[in-house]
């Protein structure tokens, strides 16, 4: 369903002029200005748009990561990981940006920075899938994902890079939601044992 909503909203964006698109997305952005005025509305609305406007690459990522996590965890637990990663990473990264503005490390205009999209939820799901992979492959996957989200913080980090890393950590912290499912197989993968 979420993927279908993202398809519709992406098509809608492609029918707007660049100026209209920017203003439209800014009102749904989880930037400091909008979060201080309409926190719940923008936290929900920002998760209904794809930053960059290209649906097909996200559909592939959705199939590779989200679909696997939902099938493994069930819809409620998968959604809990998505919401936790999206909300906590947004609030923490925007809080860090607000502090940078107060300390004079970022311009005042950064309170209106465009910040929409589903990438924080994706980062959290990518991280929680660490627990789905059996050792020793788990550690290779974890190292690769850690480098993918950690490296940008070492070379000119942005608040979005910081948010992606935070959402990765949130996904790892969702272990209580996966406890007991680490080695659980999909029933379709189980080979039936013939009787006696």
| pLDDT tens column, 113-130 | 888 889 999 999 999 999
Average pLDDT over residues 106-118: 87
pLDDT digits (tens, 9 = 90+) for 30-50: 889 899 999 999 999 888 888
How far apart are alpha carbons 53 and 62 in whole angstroms? 15
Task: Report yes or no on 85 lying in a domain.
Answer: yes
Task: Report yes or no on 190 lying in a domain.
Answer: no
Task: Report yes or no on 188 lying in a domain.
Answer: no
Task: Report yes or no on 195 lying in a domain.
Answer: no
Task: Report yes or no on 192 lying in a domain.
Answer: no
| HSE-CB of 55 using CA atoms within 13 angstroms | 15
How far apart are alpha carbons 82 and 79 in whole angstroms? 5
Average pLDDT over residues 47-75: 88
Give the domain extent around 97. 2-183
Strands (E) located in the chain: none
The single-letter DSSP state of residue 65 is: I
Q: Are 40 and 83 in contact (CB under 8 A)?
A: no
How far apart are alpha carbons 165 and 111 in whole angstroms? 21
pLDDT at 194 over 50: no
C-alpha dihedral over 190, 70, 65, 181, to 10 degrees? -50
How far apart are alpha carbons 45 and 37 in whole angstroms? 14
Full-model pTM:
0.85
Number of structural domains the chain divides into: 1
Pair of tokens at residue 22 = 């920017």
Task: Report yes or no on 196 lying in a domain.
Answer: no
Task: Report yes or no on 194 lying in a domain.
Answer: no
| Domain CATH number, residue 49 | 1.20.1540
What's the mean per-residue pLDDT of the chain?
A: 87
Pair of tokens at residue 66 = 């989200």
pLDDT level of residue 183 (50, 70, 90 thresholds): low
| pLDDT value for 83 | 96
Q: Can you tell me whether residue 108 is helix, strand or coil? A: helix
Task: Report yes or no on 27 lying in a domain.
Answer: yes
The single-letter DSSP state of residue 62 is: I
Q: Are 88 and 169 in contact (CB under 8 A)?
A: no
The single-letter DSSP state of residue 80 is: H
Of 112, 114, 121, the residue nearest 87 (C-alpha): 121
């Amino acid at each position: 369903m979420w993927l279908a909503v993202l398809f519709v909203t992406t098509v809608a964006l492609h029918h707007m002029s660049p100026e209209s698109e920017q203003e439209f997305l800014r009102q749904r952005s989880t930037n400091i200005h909008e979060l201080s005025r309409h926190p719940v509305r923008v936290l929900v609305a920002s998760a209904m748009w794809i930053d960059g406007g290209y649906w097909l690459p996200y559909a592939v990522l959705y199939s590779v990561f989200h679909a696997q996590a939902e099938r493994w965890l069930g819809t409620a637990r998968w959604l809990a990981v998505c919401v936790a990663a999206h909300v906590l990473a947004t609030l923490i990264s925007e809080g860090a940006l607000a502090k940078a503005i107060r300390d004079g490390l970022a311009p005042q205009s950064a309170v209106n920075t465009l910040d929409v999209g589903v990438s924080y939820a994706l980062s959290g799901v990518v991280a929680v899938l660490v627990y789905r992979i059996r050792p020793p492959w788990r550690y290779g996957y974890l190292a690769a994902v850690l480098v993918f989200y950690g490296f940008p913080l070492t070379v000119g980090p942005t608040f979005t890079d910081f948010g992606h890393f935070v959402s990765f950590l949130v996904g790892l912290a969702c272990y209580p939601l996966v406890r007991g499912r680490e080695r659980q197989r999909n029933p379709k993968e189980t080979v039936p044992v013939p009787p006696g």
